[in-house]
Chain A
Amino acid sequence: MGELEEKETPPTETTAAQQEALEEPKETDKMLDKKEDAKEKTPSPQTSKPASPNAGKKSSPVAEKKIDDAELAKSKSGNGEEIIDIPAENGTKPDSADDKKISKEEREVKPKKIPIGGLKLPGFFMKNKPKADGDGAEGELLEKEKEEDKDKEANGDAATGSGKDEQKSRPGLGERLRSFFARKPSAEKEKKQLVNGDADAKSEATAEATPAEDASDAPPKRGLLNAIKLPIANMIPKKKSNDDVELGLGKAGLASMETLDDSLKDQDTVDRAPVKTNGTEELKGELKDEKLAAEEKLAAEEEEQNRPVSLLTRLRGYKCSVDDALIVFGILLFVLLLGVIGYVLTHETLTSPPLREGRYIMAVTGCGPVEGVKEDGAFAFRGIPYAKPPVDRLRWKPAELIDDINMCWNDTLQTHNSSVVCTQRLGNGTTVGDEDCLYLDVVTPHVRYNNPLPVVVLIGAESLAGPSPGILRPSARYSRSHDVIFVRPNFRLGVFGFLALDALTKEAHPPTSGNYALTDIIAVLNWIKLNIVHFGGDPQSVTLLGHRAGATLVTLLVNSQKVKGLYTRAWASSGSAILPGKPLSESGKQNEQLMATLECADIQCLREASSERLWAATPDTWLHFPVDLPQPQEANASGSRHEWLVLDGDVVFEHPSDTWKREQANDKPVLVMGATAHEAHTEKLRELHANWTREEVRAYLENSQIGALGLTDEVIEKYNASSYASLVSIISDIRSVCPLLTNARQQPSVPFYVVTQGEGPDQLATVDADVQAILGRYEPHTVEQRRFVSAMQQLFYYYVSHGTVQSFVQNRRVINVGQDAQPEEDYLPCNYWISKDIVPRYARVD
Chain B
Amino acid sequence: APVISQISKDVVASVGDSVEFNCTVEEVGQLSVSWAKRPSESDTNSVVLSMRNILSLPDQRYNVTVTEGPKTGSAIYTFRIQNIEVSDMGPYECQVLVSATEKVTKKLSLQIKTPPVIAENTPKSTLVTEGQNLELTCHANGFPKPTISWAREHNAVMPAGGHLLAEPTLRIRSVHRMDRGGYYCIAQNGEGQPDKRLIRVEVEFRPQIAVQRPKIAQMVSHSAELECSVQGYPAPTVVWHKNGVPLQSSRHHEVANTASSSGTTTSVLRIDSVGEEDFGDYYCNATNKLGHADARLHLFQTVIPVPSLS
Contact = CB atoms under 8 A, between A and B. Distances in A.
Interface of A: 349-354, 364-369, 401-406, 408, 449, 505-506, 509-512, 530, 533-534, 649-650, 653
B309 A403 contact: no
A779 B179 CA distance: 55
Given A349-B219, A405-B297, 18 more contacts: A349-B305, A350-B305, A354-B303, A367-B214, A369-B217, A401-B210, A401-B212, A402-B214, A403-B212, A403-B214, A405-B211, A509-B159, A510-B159, A510-B178, A534-B217, A649-B157, A649-B162, A653-B155
Interface string B147-190: 00000000111111111000000000000101100000000000
9 contacts: A349-B305, A350-B304, A364-B217, A366-B212, A369-B217, A405-B211, A449-B306, A509-B179, A510-B156
10 A-B pairs with the lowest CB-CB distances in the bound complex, closest first: A366-B213, A405-B214, A510-B157, A364-B217, A403-B210, A511-B161, A368-B215, A509-B176, A405-B296, A649-B157
A410 B159 CA distance: 40
- B178, B297, B298, B304, most chain A CB atoms within 10 A: B304
SS of A interface (majority): loop
A206 to B, nearest CB: 104
Contacts of B306: 364, 449, 534
A353 B295 contact: no
Interface in B197-245: 209-217, 219, 229
A559 to B, nearest CB: 13
Contact of B212 (A506, A510, A530): A530
A539 to B, nearest CB: 9
Nearest to A447: B304
B201 to A, nearest CB: 14
B302 interface: yes
Nearest to B302: A364
Interface in B270-310: 295-298, 300, 302-307, 309
Interface string B121-141: 000000000000000000000
A349 to B, nearest CB: 6
Nearest to B306: A364
Contacts of B298: 405
Contacts, number: 86
Contacts of B212: 366, 401, 403, 530
Nearest to B177: A509
A587 to B, nearest CB: 13
Nearest to A400: B210
A510 B210 CA distance: 19
A407 to B, nearest CB: 8
Given A364-B302, A405-B296, A449 B307 contact: yes
Contacts of B229: 403
Nearest to B163: A649
A367 B161 contact: no
Interface string B28-52: 0000000000000000000000000
A403 B213 CA distance: 7
Nearest to A512: B157
A354 to B, nearest CB: 7
A369 B300 contact: yes
A353 B303 contact: yes
Contacts of A649: 157, 162-163
B35 to A, nearest CB: 53
A530 B178 contact: no
B160 A404 contact: no
A583 B218 CA distance: 50
Contacts of B179: 509
Contact of B161 (A505, A533, A653): A505
Nearest to B227: A366
A365 B309 CA distance: 12
A453 to B, nearest CB: 15
A530 B157 contact: no
B302 to A, nearest CB: 6
Nearest to B217: A364
A533 B304 contact: no
A413 to B, nearest CB: 11
B241 to A, nearest CB: 15
A530 B217 contact: no
Contact of A650 (B157, B211, B215, B217): B157
Contacts of B161: 505-506, 510-512
Nearest to A505: B161
B178 A405 contact: no
Contacts of B156: 510
A367 B215 contact: yes
A530 B176 contact: no
Nearest to B213: A366
Nearest to B219: A349
- B210, B217, B296, B300, most chain A CB atoms within 10 A: B217
A447 to B, nearest CB: 9
Contacts of B217: 364, 369, 534
Contacts of B210: 401, 403
A401 B305 CA distance: 25
Contacts of A369: 217, 300, 302
- A353, A510, A511, most chain B CB atoms within 10 A: A510
Contacts of A350: 304-305
A653 B157 CA distance: 9
Contacts of A408: 214-215
B159 A511 contact: yes
Given A403-B214, A530-B212, A511 B157 contact: yes
B141 to A, nearest CB: 32
B304 A351 contact: yes
Contacts of A509: 159, 176, 178-179
A650 B154 CA distance: 11
A449 B157 CA distance: 41
Contacts of A364: 215, 217, 302, 306
A404 B163 contact: no
Contacts of A351: 304
B134 to A, nearest CB: 14
Interface string B43-71: 00000000000000000000000000000
A844 B94 CA distance: 73
A404 B211 contact: yes
- B210, B212, B302, B303, most chain A CB atoms within 10 A: B212
A388 to B, nearest CB: 12
A595 B212 CA distance: 36
A404 B214 contact: yes
- A366, A367, A534, most chain B CB atoms within 10 A: A366
Contacts of A406: 296
Nearest to A650: B157
A505 B162 CA distance: 10
Given A353-B302, A369-B300, A533-B307, A405 B215 contact: yes
A754 B83 CA distance: 65
Given A366-B213, A404-B211, A530 B309 contact: yes
Contacts of A365: 215
- B162, B209, B213, B297, most chain A CB atoms within 10 A: B213
Contact of A530 (B160, B213, B305): B213
Contacts of A352: 304
A523 to B, nearest CB: 12
A588 B87 CA distance: 53
A533 B308 CA distance: 10
A404 B303 contact: no
Nearest to A534: B306
Contacts of B303: 353-354
Contacts of A534: 217, 306
Contacts of B302: 353, 364, 369
Contacts of B160: 511
Nearest to A402: B214
Nearest to B304: A353
A405 B209 CA distance: 12
Nearest to A526: B212
Nearest to B209: A403
Contact of A405 (B155, B157, B176, B295): B295
